[in-house]
Structures are given as C-alpha cells and as structure tokens.
C-alpha cells in the first residue's frame, strides 16, 4: 500500500512539475506574493491606496462625529418634551439647559466636523453627516419654537456655523486664523424642518393630555402653515423631501382630527379624558410607526 | 404673523431649488454630448475585435485621440457650469460617462504603448484638472474605468487568438496580472468598486485560459521557439 502511495505521490509530483512548467498562473502568483516595489503599476497603486484610505478614514471619522451629534440632539429633544409643565421656573430652567447643550454642540461637535471638512468638498461627505445635521436642526427648531414661538430661517442658521481656527498650535507665533464654515445645504435644513413637525405632533397630543387645549390648536395652525409652505415647493426629483412631506401630511391630519374631536366632543368629555379619546381615535390607523423612541 | 415668516422661508428655498434645477439641466445637456463622444470612441476602438485588424489599430487610436479632443472641450464646458467646490454635489450626472471615458483612454494608451495609464494622464486626455479643488477626475471613477478595461481586454485576448495574433494574449496576461496585483493593494470598502473588483478574477481566469490553450499547443510565441529547439535536440 505504501508503495502504491509512493507511486501515486511520485506521479502527482511529476504532473505538478509538468504543470508548473506550463502554467502561466505562476507569474501572477509571483506578482501577488512578492510585490515588486519597482514595478511602475505597483508604485502607482501605492499612491492610490494612500488617497483612497485618506478619504475612507475621513468619512468614517465624520460618521462618528455625526452619530454623537444625533444622540445628543435626540436627548435635547427629549429634554424639551419635559418642559411641558405649568411651573415657569422649571420651564425656564429646561430651556436654559437646552440652549446650553445646543450651543455646546455648535461650539464643540460641529466645530470638529467643520475642521474635518475644511478644504474638502463637503458634498462628498454629506451622506456621512446628513443624519446628525438634520437631527440637530430638528432639535434647534423645536427649541426655538418652544421658547420664542417661531423658527429662524436657514440664513440665520449658517451664521452660527462660522468658526475661526488658529493655524499654529504654538502660542508664541502670531496666530493666523482661518475662517472655517460648516456647509449646511438648504435641503438639509428643510429635511430637518420636516422632522421638526413630527415633534410638534407629539407636543400637540401631549398638551392635550395635560389639558392645554389652546396650545393644541395653536400648534395645529403652525403646522398648517409649514405644510402650506411645503406645498409651494416642487418636490419632484427629491425623494427624501417628498417622503418628509408625505409624513408631514399624515401628522397634520392627525392633529386636525384631534382638534376636530375637541371641538365636537369637548363639551361632553371631561378635560382630563380628552387625550385618551383622541389617542384611541387617531392611533388605530396610525399604527406604531414612530421613528424614535421618545414619546 | 408666523405665516409671513414661513412664507419667506419657503420662497427662498424654492428659489434655491429652482436655480439648482437649472444647473442640473445644463449639466445634463453637456453630459449628453460627452456620452455621445464616448459611444463614438467605443465604436472606433471596437476594430480591435475584428479579424486581422492589427494594421488598423494605430489608425483607430489616432481617430480616438481626435474624438478625445471633442471630449476635452465638453469637459471644459462642464467645468464652467459646475460651481467650484461643489463637484460632488452634481457628480452623479457625469460619473458613469467619466468611468467609461477612463476605460477608453486607458485602452487607447494600452494599444498605443502597452502600459497602464496613470490618473494624471487620463485627466490630461479628458482635459480636466488634477487638482481636487477644481473640476477633477475622481480616483474611484478612474479605478472603475481600469476594471472595465480588464473585461474588454479579456475579450480582446480571445479575438486576437482568432485572428492569429498569439503575442497579444501574452501581453494582456502580463498587463492584467500587474493590474490585479495593484488592485489587491487597495483597501476597498464594501462599495460598488469592490463589487466590480470581485468580477476581475473571472476576467483574469479567462485570459489565463487563453494563454494556457496557446501554451499546451505550443503556440505561445517564446515558448514554442524553445520547444522547437528541445524537440530538435531530442530527435
């Protein structure tokens, strides 16, 4: 048996040898295993690797930054939902905290982001930070709405995102500051605005729960205005925007129905019961499609 | 009161979208022209797959070069339309045609001198800047073009054998082998480039099979001469 095995092996080796003589795969293998650094193609690709890696790394760093912004923005929104109390002092306190945290985001996280984007084409990395940016805009608008009853336009927003960064770490050198600006395409602002109306829906239903009916109507009217504004815009070709407007319409209809219920049945149901009634009426066809867990 | 504010906000947004759409429309028109050029070049270069086309190759390369001049002027037009620093905002429009042109430029250079063209040379052929802050050639588009080149070369290898050119597959095999080794150096993400690269191994295999077929039949140029001597020796 051993003999036959030996025979087999011998044969195998022979074939292998023959094969290797003829094989042209060897050349490729050689190329792969011993990368010839003097080869022009290899040198070229070494350069491309550097470029490609730099881009991928930057992209990942931006995704990370964006994620931090998203989380903090969601927390701020949650905090603001808690501001629905009658005690003015507590309200003020929450507003101040939200303001502080929003400013921190601008001063810290967005500054890092804009440094990362400095000298780059921001549109190349837009997909990496669009989520964080939209969430931030949502939080900011919600804060502005709660505190001042109105929102600031896009133009005011971009003025917040201007930083000057000193070029030299060395304090002795005379500092040459570079103006760095965070790019916020208007589209992002309006996508954030769409999300913001989702928060208004929550706020509207919540205020119903706390018996603040006046506010409920007020918010509903405000969202009506926003919806009218969106209708003016031609959304064709902008998938994201179209989707946001669709969701906005649904939210608005829920609010309108809530207001209708108050008007029709408000006199026959005690105030504290209204919220339950409205919820049972609006929720069945709504399902649980809320995008975030904060209710 | 709030109504006035929101109206103002939305009006400016509408204007913004409107101007963006105008730019996109202009870009689309120019890209259409470039696509037409690219198809013409591709047609011209298809001569390589014809039987006994060896003599015509250099003249079709020359024709392709002339067509690339039109491409250049179109890219110049495009670069004037696209606002500086917003290359990637509109990049989708010309991405595919640029990849195709990278492939065509690389093929032309391969046919002319048999070497792999560098990204800066392709940028020159297309008439775009190499500076990434201007209207430039995206690295990934260039690499995508090279991968397209490989599948064209795999086809070329087969057809070259048909028309009796046994040197060509050897050259292609070496060329694609080097290119493959180069691509292996890249750290690709799980994106379209990666997917396209995964298809490269089948093309490499196809080319190797052609070379193999030639080899075992003693048709491989340098090899056959060697075996002839050997055969004579043993006889």
Q: Is the dihedral of CA B185, B190, B192, B195 positive or negative?
A: positive
- Residues A194, A137: Cα–Cα separation, whole Å: 10
Interval A227-237 mean pLDDT: 85
Q: CB burial class (10 A; 0-12, 13-18, 19+) of residue B125?
A: buried
- Chain B nearest CA to A91, separation (Å): 23
Q: Is residue A85 located within the same domain as residue A197?
A: no
pLDDT band for B5, please (50, 70, 90 cuts): low
Of the listed ranges A236-240, A277-281, A282-286, B24-28, the one predicted with least confidence: A282-286
Considering chain B, what is the average pLDDT of its residues?
88
Q: Is residue A109 located within the same domain as residue A235?
A: no
Q: Is residue A167 located within the same domain as residue A194?
A: no
Distance of CA B126 to the CA centre of its chain: 11
Residue of B nearest to A46 (CA): B185
- Chain B nearest CA to A49, separation (Å): 5
Residue of A nearest to B3 (CA): A225
Contact B187 A40 (CB under 8 A): no
Contact between B44 and B107 under an 8 Å Cβ cutoff? The reply is no
pLDDT reported for residue A281: 57
pTM, whole model, 2 decimals? 0.80
- Residues A18, B97: Cα–Cα separation, whole Å: 46
- Cβ contacts of B12 on chain A, cutoff 8 Å: 153-155, 186
Collapsed DSSP state (helix, strand, coil) of residue B114: coil
pLDDT reported for residue B124: 93
Is some CB atom of chain B closer than 8 A to the CB atom of A54?
A: no
Structural domain includes residue A119 = yes
Domain end (from A149, A184, A219):
A184
Contact A123 B180 (CB under 8 A): no
Interval B156-162 mean pLDDT: 92
pLDDT reported for residue A292: 43
pLDDT band for A278, please (50, 70, 90 cuts): low
- Residues A167, A176: Cα–Cα separation, whole Å: 6
pLDDT at A99 over 50: yes
Q: Is residue A142 located within the same domain as residue A166?
A: yes
Residue A199 assigned ligand-binding role: yes
Is some CB atom of chain B closer than 8 A to the CB atom of A33?
A: no
Residue A32 assigned ligand-binding role: no
Residue of A nearest to B189 (CA): A56
ipTM comes to 0.83
Domain end (from A160, A184, A208):
A184
Contact A230 B12 (CB under 8 A): no
Is some CB atom of chain B closer than 8 A to the CB atom of A186?
A: yes
**Interface with chain B: mutation pick from A47, A51, A52, highest number of B CBs within 10 Å:** A52
Contact B21 A232 (CB under 8 A): no
Contact B116 A40 (CB under 8 A): yes
- Chain A nearest CA to B80, separation (Å): 17
Contact A153 B12 (CB under 8 A): yes
Domain end (from A184, A214, A231):
A184
Q: Is residue A237 located within the same domain as residue A278?
A: yes
- Chain B nearest CA to A56, separation (Å): 8
Domains in chain B, start-ordered, CATH in brackets? 1-137 (1.20.58.190), 142-224 (1.20.58.200)
The residue length of chain B stands at 235
Of residues A287 and B176, which shows the higher confidence score? B176
Structural domain includes residue A21 = no
pLDDT at A84 over 50: yes
Contact B119 A228 (CB under 8 A): no
CATH number at residue A113: 1.20.58.190
At B53-77, the pLDDT tens digits run 778 898 999 999 999 999 999 999 9
Structural domain includes residue A294 = no
Q: Is residue A79 located within the same domain as residue A175?
A: yes
Considering chain A, what is the average pLDDT of its residues?
79
pLDDT reported for residue A29: 55
Q: For residue B143, give every residue at least 6 positions away whose Cβ sits within 8 Å of its Cβ, in sequence order, or none.
A: A48, B183, B186, B193
* Top-confidence range, A20-29, A212-221, A281-290, B173-182: B173-182
Q: Is residue A171 located within the same domain as residue A199?
A: no
Q: Is residue A193 located within the same domain as residue A167?
A: no
Contact B181 A237 (CB under 8 A): no
pLDDT band for A33, please (50, 70, 90 cuts): low
DSSP state of A106: I
Structural domain includes residue A89 = yes
* Helix runs in B46-116, H state only: 54-81, 87-113
Q: Is residue A58 located within the same domain as residue A166?
A: yes
- Chain B nearest CA to A186, separation (Å): 7
CATH number at residue A201: 1.20.58.200
Q: Is residue A162 located within the same domain as residue A259?
A: no
Q: For residue A85, give every residue at least 6 positions away whose Cβ sits within 8 Å of its Cβ, in sequence order, or none.
A: A91
Contact B174 A155 (CB under 8 A): no
The C-alpha R_g of chain B, in whole angstroms, comes to: 23
- Cβ contacts of B7 on chain A, cutoff 8 Å: 229
Name the residue among A233, A237, A238 with its Cβ closest to that of B10.
A233
pLDDT reported for residue B224: 47
- What's the number of domains chain A is made of? 2
Residue of B nearest to A43 (CA): B182
Structure tokens given for A184: 């916020």
Structure tokens given for A194: 């769409």
Interval A2-8 mean pLDDT: 43
Q: Is residue A165 located within the same domain as residue A122?
A: yes
Structural domain includes residue A104 = yes
- Chain A nearest CA to B147, separation (Å): 13
CB–CB contacts below 8 A, A to B = 124
pLDDT band for B7, please (50, 70, 90 cuts): confident
Collapsed DSSP state (helix, strand, coil) of residue B127: coil
Is some CB atom of chain B closer than 8 A to the CB atom of A149?
A: yes
Structural domain includes residue A131 = yes
Interval B79-92 mean pLDDT: 90
Q: Is residue A128 located within the same domain as residue A203?
A: no
Residue A199, domain extent: 185-284
Structural domain includes residue A81 = yes
Interval B89-94 mean pLDDT: 92
pLDDT reported for residue B123: 94
Is some CB atom of chain B closer than 8 A to the CB atom of A117?
A: no
Contact B189 A56 (CB under 8 A): yes
pLDDT at B233 over 50: no
- Chain B nearest CA to A114, separation (Å): 15
Q: Which of A293, A209, A212, A224 is closest to A254 using CA atoms? A: A224
Q: For residue A14, give every residue at least 6 positions away whose Cβ sits within 8 Å of its Cβ, in sequence order, or none.
A: none
Structural domain includes residue A224 = yes
- Residues A59, A4: Cα–Cα separation, whole Å: 60
């Amino acid at each position: 048996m051993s003999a036959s095995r030996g025979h087999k092996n011998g044969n195998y080796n022979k074939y292998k040898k023959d094969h290797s003589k003829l094989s042209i795969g060897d050349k490729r293998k050689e190329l792969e295993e011993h990368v010839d650094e003097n080869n022009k193609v290899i040198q070229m690709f070494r350069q491309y690797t550097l470029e490609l890696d730099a881009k991928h790394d930057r992209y990942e760093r931006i995704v990370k930054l964006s994620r931090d912004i998203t989380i903090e923005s969601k927390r701020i929104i949650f905090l603001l939902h808690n501001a629905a109390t009658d005690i003015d002092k507590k309200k003020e306190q929450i507003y101040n905290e939200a303001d502080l945290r929003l400013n921190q985001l601008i001063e810290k996280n967005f500054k890092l982001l804009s440094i990362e984007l400095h000298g780059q084409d921001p549109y190349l990395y837009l997909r990496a930070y669009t989520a964080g940016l939209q969430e931030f805009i949502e939080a900011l608008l919600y804060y502005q709405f709660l505190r001042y009853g109105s929102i600031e336009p896009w133009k005011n927003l971009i003025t917040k995102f201007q930083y000057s960064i000193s070029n030299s770490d060395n304090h002795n050198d005379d500092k040459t500051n570079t103006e760095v600006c965070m790019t916020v395409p208007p589209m992002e602002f309006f996508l954030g605005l769409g999300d913001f109306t989702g928060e208004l829906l929550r706020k509207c239903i919540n205020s119903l729960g706390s018996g603040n009916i006046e506010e409920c109507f007020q918010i509903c009217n405000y969202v009506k205005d926003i919806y009218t504004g969106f209708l003016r815009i031609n959304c064709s070709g902008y998938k994201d925007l179209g989707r946001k407007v669709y969701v906005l319409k649904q939210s608005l209809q829920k609010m309108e129905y809530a207001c209708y219920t108050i008007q029709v049945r408000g006199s026959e149901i005690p105030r504290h019961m209204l919220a339950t009634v409205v919820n049972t009426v609006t929720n069945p066809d709504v399902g649980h499609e809320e995008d975030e867990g904060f209710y | 009161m709030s109504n006035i504010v929101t109206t103002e906000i939305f009006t400016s947004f509408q204007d913004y979208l409107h101007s963006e759409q105008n730019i996109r429309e202009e870009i689309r028109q120019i890209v259409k022209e470039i696509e037409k050029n690219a198809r013409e070049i591709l047609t011209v270069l298809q001569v390589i797959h014809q039987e006994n086309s060896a003599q015509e190759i250099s003249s079709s390369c020359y024709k392709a070069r002339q067509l690339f001049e039109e491409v250049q002027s179109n890219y110049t037009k495009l670069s004037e339309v696209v606002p500086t620093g917003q290359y990637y905002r509109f990049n989708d429009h010309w991405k595919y045609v640029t990849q195709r042109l990278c492939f065509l430029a690389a093929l032309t250079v391969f046919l002319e001198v048999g070497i792999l063209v560098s990204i800066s040379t392709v940028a020159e052929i297309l008439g775009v800047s190499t500076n990434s802050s201007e209207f430039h050639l995206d690295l990934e588009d260039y690499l995508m073009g090279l991968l397209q080149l490989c599948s064209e070369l795999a086809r070329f290898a087969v057809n070259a054998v048909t028309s009796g050119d046994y040197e060509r597959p050897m050259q292609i095999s070496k060329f694609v082998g080097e290119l493959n080794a180069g691509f292996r150096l890249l750290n690709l993400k799980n994106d379209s480039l990666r997917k396209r690269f995964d298809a490269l191994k089948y093309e490499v295999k196809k080319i190797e099979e052609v070379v193999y077929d030639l080899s075992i039949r003693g048709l491989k140029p340098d090899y056959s001469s060697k075996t002839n001597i050997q055969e004579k020796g043993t006889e």
